[in-house]
Amino acid sequence: MREPLPSTHDLAQRLGAHAHVSRVVATRPLSSSLTEVELEGESASLTGEPGNDVMVLVDQHGTRMVRRRYSVRSVDPAADRFRLWVTTGHDGAGSAWARRAAAGDEVDVVGPRGKVLVDPHAAWHLFVGDVSGLSAFYRMAESLTAPRQAIVVVEIDHGDDALTTSVAEGVTITGVFVDRRERRHDDPEGLLRALAAVAWPEGDGHAYVVGEFSVVQTVVHALHDRGLDADAISPKSYWRANRANLDHGEPERDAR
Ligand SMILES: Cc1cc2nc3c(=O)[nH]c(=O)nc-3n(C[C@H](O)[C@H](O)[C@H](O)COP(=O)(O)OP(=O)(O)OC[C@H]3O[C@@H](n4cnc5c(N)ncnc54)[C@H](O)[C@@H]3O)c2cc1C
């Protein structure tokens, strides 16, 4: 395998992460909106813990490097492989990369990234967002041990995006899939209505909210109103409606 580009090395050093080149093993369409990309190489140092993501160099034009962050869906340490679930239902640099990726392609990867990990003290875990969050949600839910509870509330564009998973014995998981219908991607109404119908289990809970920028903000307010403290909510905006993410992978924020 070749060495990562110097800019990938520099980035990893700045972030306190690792830089490696991984090889695409396979891609598989999972649903109308999601494609799985399986990579091999350096999985032990890149993939971190459930909730972590990797930063992939998806495009470059001269000195312009376009990177996108993808949560790690699963890791196979014996085969030194890991999987990403990439949204491919829109046109963007990351979705184009996943659509054209082919076995044998080599790609610069920086990881592990991300600070949102499973709260070890919570009795129940609420995962809220859109299909871009399923990868992180399911890796985190699969890592829970009995007697914890996971509730997954996800808005989907197509019926076949309602992908499911299984969790450890003694852990209960409830999935609520909300049909987006004609609502815009920055309209939080579907998720708010679904959340209003979910009763919180007993004990302390932790909510993980990811997806479209303004939807994440509105959902966080609604969860506060339902009594969850700020330290019991971990929000992360993944993308922003009608705006491409910045080249370093984060959604654009409004100027203050
Ligand atoms: C910490 C972190 C973890 C992430 N994990 C994942 C992950 O596991 N899987 C994943 O798919 N994404 C994930 N994302 C989002 C991902 O990094 C990209 O930003 C996103 O996929 C869009 O990149 P793009 O280059 O395809 O589109 P962009 O070039 O960013 O956007 C092009 C256009 O597509 C629209 N668009 C972008 N994303 C979507 C979408 N999901 N649905 C509808 N329209 C969209 C934009 O509004 C824009 O108009 C994560 C982001 C962060 C910050």
Asked if residue 97 and residue 132 are part of one domain, the reply reads no
Q: Do 153 and 79 fall within a single domain? A: no
Q: Which of 113, 135, 160 is the last residue in one of the domains?
A: 113
And the tokens for 240?
């922003």
Q: Which residues line ligand 1 (CB under 6 A)?
A: 53, 68-71, 85-87, 90, 92-95, 114, 132, 135-136, 185, 236, 238-245, 249-250
Q: pLDDT value at position 30?
A: 98
Q: State how many domains the chain has.
A: 2
Ligand 1 atom index nearest CA of 245: 30
Kindly state the tokens that stand for 158: 């197509």
Same domain, 80 and 144: no
Report the CATH number that the domain containing residue 38 is assigned in CATH: 2.40.30.10
Is 128 found in the same domain as 109? no
Q: Whose CA is nearest to atom 42 of ligand 1?
A: 90
Q: How far is the CA of 75 from the centre of ligand 1 (A)?
A: 21
In angstroms, the CA 128 to CA 237 distance is: 12
CATH code (residue 196): 3.40.50.80
**Residue range 54-73, pLDDT digits in tens:** 999 999 988 899 999 999 99
In the reported structure, the alpha carbon of residue 197 is separated from the centroid of ligand 1 by a whole-number distance in angstroms of 28
Instruction: Based on the fold, state whether residues 153 and 178 are members of the same structural domain.
Output: yes
Residue 251 maps to a domain: no
Q: Is residue 118 part of a domain?
A: no
The answer, as to whether pTM is greater than 0.95, is yes
- Residue 64, beta-bridge partner list: 61
Show the low-confidence residues of the chain (pLDDT under 50). Answer: none
Task: Please report the pLDDT score of residue 255 as a whole number.
Answer: 62
Q: Which domain covers residue 94, as residue numbers?
A: 6-113
Reading the block at residue 253, the tokens are 């924020």
